[in-house]
Amino acid sequence: SKYVFRFGGGVDDGGKGDKNLLGGKGANLDGMAAIGLPVPPGFTITTEMCTRYYADGETYPESLNAEVANGIAHIEAVTGKKFGDAGDPLLVSVRSGARVSMPGMMDTVLNLGLNDQTVEGLAAVSGDARFAWDSYRRFIQMYSDVVLELDHGKFEEALEIAKEDRGAYLDTELTADDWRALVDEYKALVLKQWGKPFPQDVHEQLWGAIGAVFGSWQADRAKVYRRLNNIPGDWGTAVNVQAMVFGNMGDTSATGVAFTRDPATGENAYYGEYLINAQGEDVVAGIRTPQYLTTAARERAGAKPLSMEEALPETYAELANVFHILETHYRDMQDIEFTVQQGKLWMLQTRSGKRTAKAALKIAVDMANEGLITREEAVARVDANALDQLLHPTLDPKAPRDVLTKGLPASPGAASGQIVFDAETAERLNELGEAVILVRIETSPEDIHGMHAAKGILTARGGMTSHAAVVARGMGRPCVSGAGGISIDAPNRLLRIGERLLKERDIITIDGATGEVMAGEVPTVQPELAGDFGTLMVWADGVRRLKVRANAETPADCKTAREFGAEGVGLCRTEHMFFDAERITNVRQMILAETEAGRREALAKLLPAQRADFFGIFTEMAGLPVTIRLLDPPLHEFLPHEDVDFADVAAAAGVSVEILKRRAAELHEFNPMLGHRGCRLGVTYPEIYEMQARAIFEAALDVAKASGEAPIPEVMIPLVATRRELELMKDIVDKTAKAVFAERGASVDYLVGTMIELPRAALKAGEIAEVGEFFSFGTNDLTQTTIGISRDDAGRFLTQYVDKGIFARDPFISLDVEGVGELIQIAAERGRATRAGIKLGICGEHGGDPASIAFCEQTGLDYVSASPYRVPIARLAAAQAAL
Ligand code: ADP
Ligand code: MG
Ligand code: MG
């Protein structure tokens, strides 16, 4: 089969811009060339080659040699230069390119094809020795770093020394001779570190780079990134080999990156950075501070250096036209790399641009309004999980701020946390539940796990398109980059900002929307949910079938949930209501009572409090269904565990310490998760459920009377395994309802149902549905009881389970569709067979997870229930699942 696809110069091998085959970069180079944009000619070695390379024990098939040679011949034909020719050498870049852009993959090697002979040829043809030697030193440094993997610190040091010797501040101030001398030093460094001279054979250079790209697919940092982003290991990466164009050929040459819309705000305005007389890497690496692309952005920032619009007006106009063509062609905001070689524009990359959640929303809504995409596409485009960024608080504008310094607003959102200086510490403290801010001079792919563990990222160097900025935006972490005012003393774990000296673990706050860095913790405010957010939600609601409810147990949570669009409560856990300082004494009296009469006495004291709870919740949810789960946890959770507390508790409950201790010992369980809990409490102490049922119905009638709008209580019995259990519990609830309705002379509609959270309940759902009027899948417990993994203990080994491919994702976060999902399907089917149209929902963490929601849609559940802040995510995910 064919492993090499050529592009550019009017040649098209029919790759059809296929990302799976050519990788993202290769596909779009092919695509741009196909629509006639100026793309330097090149070829792509497919992702299939990468997969085969690993399948065949890291070897290439014979045929690849000829295919690559044919690819090089194509570039030679289009450019009229020859690879390795001492007279007029062809230089190429070698770039990796997976299906999705992936930090952790091999960095690009530029200027490949230079050696001691060809550099002279390049100097002669270009008439610019400085440029030729600058390119050669760049090549040796990059190749040594990314292909030979030598210590790049030494190379940087040599460059710094060369600059110091010359009293130069910028690279651009060095001369041809300076670069020539540096090349000699670099070659000596290679010989010393690698034990062999720098490869002079251009074909050896090329194959070395190709091998390094494929090799980087299995590098640790790439694996970490794949794990965090659920990218399958067998996708492979492509290799792109492309003729070099030079942005470092003087003042009419430049290189830059641009977005067709603002990636931070979504504003419909070009956004970008460029550098005169530079090569691509210079912009992203933060070596020189890049200049603004547009005059508007330059003026807004109050910056002096000319914008590209001012410095190179004709090329800029051409570029703006390309932006328009690309957006119309790809129908999405594009992230573009370009180079200008002596006034001539070349396109080097385009892809759908990463953007903040805010920008994603705005761009999707704007593009639908512009008619570029449909409303359904707009709904499909916004990553539901990314909405999370918008739904969380930002800094309170009125709160005092002790601003230490200001950097670039690289990724929005605000975060406070302890200062840490390295990724390992970030990860360690995060595991201990500490909020941390990762502070680095600049970040590299090795820092990704630390960036993930941090609440926010602060860097001293790098622009809006630096590694830190791009990765942080993708992860949804707030980031302030290029904060030039900070200086980091990593060995001593100190951060100096002006006069101020901060230590590791001191608290700072960063605001990724303004670039401000503040001392201490700054309070936050709730997000604004109107505007584009509201518009997209209306469109989403128009296509979704699944209802979305919230897991909420306080009136405040219900209010938030309703503002976020919840259509009821899917899970109100009643046990939290019993932990309140005043109530717990009554709860304990109930537990400690030796007789039913004693228990009833304590429960009578709890009744008004419980009724008030439900009154508040029903008031917020008037007119909507509210699923209330009766008491679920083992009773000993309410008793003290520390010896020191016994005397106080005993005194408050009015019993002796001896009785308390004896009762606590009696209630001790070896495996409480599978112990005396759930409906088993109702079976042994029916009076508890009776009190709860009474509180529910009395509150419902009170609300109906007060507001004229009756709530719809759905009384849910937990941990049912058999039909008979549910029958007994339903009897308690029905009898209580009847009694309350008779006392009040009024009634409300209600349902009694059960949580399906045990495999037996799922299997016997047909029988259980004879009694139960609804099912709610309690997927937290159903996951732990189905897999037999305690979710409180799973943290210690689950990561390895995911790493080793036993589970694709943590089954407590994303539903195990194959196993637990099958039980849900069985229960849904059998339940419906008995009781046509039985109401089915899901509560538990999975109700807010987009992948799990897609499963709920396929299974035809009626609703999902998620935590209040995840309600909008669930609404959007439900809409996407329905599309
Ligand atoms: P990344 O994925 O990190 O952006 P790229 O492969 O896109 O890596 O390349 C890194 C830099 O090198 C970019 O700025 C790009 O513009 C530049 N570059 C890549 N290929 C060429 C080329 N053929 N000529 C000139 N510059 C190039
Ligand atoms: Mg790129
Ligand atoms: Mg449960």
Q: Which of 74, 449, 452, 467 is catalytic?
A: 467
Question: In this model, does residue 800 exceed pLDDT 90?
Answer: no
Nearest Cα residue to 21 out of 51, 42, 41: 51
Q: Which has the closest alpha carbon to 369: 551, 208, 532, 139?
A: 532
- The residue among 833, 873, 831, 869 whose CA lies nearest residue 852 is 873
Q: Which of 101, 113, 92, 82 is nearest to 42 (CA)?
A: 92
Q: What is the DSSP track for 8-38?
A: STT---S-TT-HHHHHHHHHHHHHHHHTT--
* Nearest CA, atom 18, ligand 1: 280
Please give the pLDDT value at position 286: 61
Residue 98 Cβ < 6 Å to ligand 1: no
In the chain, the percentage of residues whose pLDDT exceeds 90 is: 73
Residue 104 pLDDT level (bands cut at 50, 70, 90) = confident
Q: Is 710 left (phi over 0), alpha (psi -120 to 50) or beta?
A: beta
Tell me how crowded residue 65 is: count the other CB atoms within 10 A of its CB.
12
Asked if 194 and 151 count as a contact pair (C-beta separation under 8 A), the reply is no
Looking at the chain, the number of H-run helices and the number of E-run strands are 35, 33
Angle at which helices 657-667 and 643-653 pack, to 10 degrees? 110
Here the contacts of 457-460 (C-beta below 8 Å, separation 24 or greater) are 457/411, 457/481, 457/510, 458/407, 458/483, 458/486, 458/508, 458/510, 458/517, 459/407, 459/483, 460/484, 460/486, 460/487, 460/488
Pocket of ligand 1 contains residue 236 by CB under 6 Å:
no
User: Using one digit for the tens of pLDDT, what is the confidence trace for 582-592?
Assistant: 788 899 999 98
The residues with which 524 forms a beta bridge, in sequence order, are 395
How is residue 686 written in tokens? 């029916």
Which position has the token pair 């190429």?
A: 92
- Calculate the alpha carbon distances from 839 to 123, 732, 828 in Å: 77, 21, 9
CA distance 488 to 438: 12
* Mode of pairing for the β-strands spanning 291-292 and 271-276: antiparallel
Asked whether 244 lines ligand 1 (CB < 6 A), one says yes
- Map residue 553 onto helix, strand or coil: coil
Catalytic-labelled residue, pool 50, 572, 843, 856 = 843
Residue 508 phi, psi dihedral angles, 5° rounding: -130, 165
pLDDT at 643 (0 to 100): 72
- Both tokens of 694, joined, read 């009474």
- What is the distance, to the nearest Å, from the Cα of residue 87 to the centroid of all Cα atoms in its chain? 50
**Sheet of strand 344-352, all strands in order from the earlier edge strand to the far edge:** 291-292, 271-276, 254-259, 334-341, 344-352
The verdict on whether residue 230 carries a ligand-binding annotation is: no
- Has 843 been annotated as catalytic? yes
Reference 783, options 750, 757, 805; nearest CA is: 757
Examine the pLDDT at 162 and tell me if it is beyond 70: yes
Q: What's phi and psi for 54, nearest 5 deg? A: -75, -35
Q: How confident is the model at residue 813 (pLDDT cuts 50, 70, 90)?
A: confident
Query: What pLDDT band is residue 539 in, cutting at 50, 70 and 90?
Result: very high
| Listed residue (358, 437, 362) closest to 392, CA to CA | 358
For residue 246, what are the CA distances in angstroms to 80, 121, 182, 288, 344? 16, 15, 20, 17, 10
For residues 329 and 658, which has the higher predicted lDDT (pLDDT)?
A: 329
| Contact present, 43 and 33 (Cβ < 8 Å) | no
pLDDT of residue 330 exceeding 80:
yes
pLDDT of 81 over the 90 cut: yes
**Centre of ligand 1 from the C-alpha of residue 501, in Å:** 39
Report how far apart, in Å, the C-alpha atoms of 108 and of each of 99, 210, 488, 768 are.
16, 11, 29, 62
pLDDT tens by residue, 600-657: 999 999 999 999 999 999 999 989 999 999 999 999 888 887 776 788 888 888 888 8
CA distance 716 to 496: 57
Q: How far apart are CA 238 and CA 26, in angstroms?
A: 7
C-alpha distances out from residue 431 to 388, 425, 812, Å: 21, 10, 17
SS3 of residue 779 by DSSP: helix
* Residue 284 and residue 467 in contact, taking contact as beta carbons nearer than 8 Å: yes
Question: How large is the average pLDDT for residues 540-555?
Answer: 94
Kind and range of the H or E run holding 50: helix 47-55
Cβ of 93 below 6 Å from ligand 1: yes
Cβ-contact 410, 466 below 8 angstroms: yes
How far is 478 from 412, CA to CA, in rounded Å?
5
- Domains, the chain, in order of start with CATH, read 4-243 (3.30.1490.20), 254-355 (3.30.470.20), 393-525 (3.50.30.10), 531-583+615-637+682-882 (3.20.20.60)
> Is the pLDDT reported for residue 527 higher than 80?
no
Whole-number Å distance, alpha carbon 248 to ligand 1 midpoint, is 13
Task: Provide the CB-side half-sphere exposure for 239 (13 A, CA).
Answer: 28
Residue 447: pLDDT band with limits 50, 70, 90: confident
User: Would the annotation count 629 as a binding residue?
Assistant: yes
Residue 242 near ligand 1, beta carbon < 6 Å: yes
Ligand 1 lined by 111 (C-beta under 6 Å)? no
- β-partners of residue 344 are 341
Q: 3-state class of 641 per DSSP?
A: coil
Give the DSSP per-residue string, 431-459: HTT--EEEEESS--GGGHHHHHHSSEEEE
Closest ligand 1 atom to Cα of 349: 7
- Cα(810) to centroid(ligand 3), Å: 18
Q: Identify whether the C-beta of residue 30 lies closer than 8 Å to the C-beta of residue 17.
A: yes
Q: For residue 819, what are its two tokens?
A: 């196993």
The answer to whether 619 and 708 are in contact (CB under 8 A) is no
- Cβ contacts of residue 712 below 8 Å, gap of 6+? 568, 623, 624, 625, 626, 748, 749, 750, 751
The yes-or-no verdict on residue 188 having pLDDT over 70 is: yes
Tokens standing for residue 356: 């903040």
Question: Ligand 2 centre and the CA of 257: distance in Å?
Answer: 8
573 lines ligand 1 (CB under 6 A): no
User: Half-sphere exposure of residue 330, counting CA atoms within 13 Å on the CB side?
Assistant: 24
Mean pLDDT of 659-678: 90
Tokens (6 digits) for 536: 């997209």
Q: Is 467 a catalytic residue?
A: yes
Which pLDDT score is estimated for 781?
93
Residue 335: band (very low, low, confident or very high) from pLDDT cuts 50, 70, 90: very high
Determine the pLDDT at residue 877.
Answer: 98
pLDDT score of 731 more than 80: yes
Mutate to test the pocket of ligand 1, among 32, 105, 110 (most ligand atoms within 8 A of CB): 110
Nearest to 704 by CA among 621, 818, 801: 621
Q: Mean per-residue pLDDT for 747-765? A: 97
Determine which of 36-45, 124-133, 439-448 has the lowest per-residue pLDDT on average. Answer: 439-448
The string of pLDDT tens digits covering residues 274-322 is 999 998 777 766 667 789 999 999 999 888 999 999 999 999 999 999 9
- In the three-class reduction of DSSP (H, G, I as helix; E, B as strand; rest coil), residue 490 is classed as coil
In this prediction, residues 180-195 reach a mean pLDDT of 96
The mean pLDDT of 184-190, rounded to a whole number, is 97
**Straight-line distance from the first to the last Cα atom of the chain, in angstroms, rounded to the nearest whole number:** 36
Strand partners, 453: none
Q: Kindly tell me if the per-residue pLDDT of 530 is higher than 80.
A: no
pLDDT digits (tens, 9 = 90+) for 508-525: 999 988 899 999 999 877
Residue closest via CA to ligand 1's atom 26 equals 280
- Give the count of beta carbons closer than 10 Å to the beta carbon of residue 456: 27
Tokens of 606: 């709890």
Atom 19 (ligand 1): residue with closest C-alpha?
Answer: 93
Q: Residue 476's pLDDT band (boundaries 50, 70, 90)?
A: low
Cα separation of 423 and 683, whole Å?
52
**513 Cβ contact list (under 8 Å, min separation 6):** 264, 394, 409, 412, 413, 414, 478
Radius of gyration of the chain (CA): 32
- Rounded CA-CA distance 616/519 in Å is 39
List all residues 6 or more positions away from 703 whose beta carbon is below 8 Å from its beta carbon. 615, 618, 619, 622, 709, 710, 711
pLDDT digits (tens, 9 = 90+) for 211-236: 999 999 999 989 988 988 888 888 99
Instruction: Give this complex's ipTM.
Output: 0.94
pLDDT of 285: 65
Give the Cα separation of 765 and 831 in Å (integer): 5
Summarised one tens digit per residue, pLDDT across range 358-395 is 899 999 999 999 999 999 999 999 999 888 778 766 88
Relative to the alpha carbon of 107, which ligand is closest?
Answer: 1
The whole-chain average pLDDT of the chain stands at 92
Q: Is 64 in the pocket of ligand 1 (CB under 6 A)?
A: no
How many angstroms separate the alpha carbon of residue 280 from the centre of ligand 1? 6
The pLDDT of 548-556, averaged and rounded, is: 91
How deeply is 813 buried, as exposed, middle or buried, from its count of CB atoms within 10 A (0-12, 13-18, 19+)?
A: middle
- Give the single-character DSSP code of 241: E
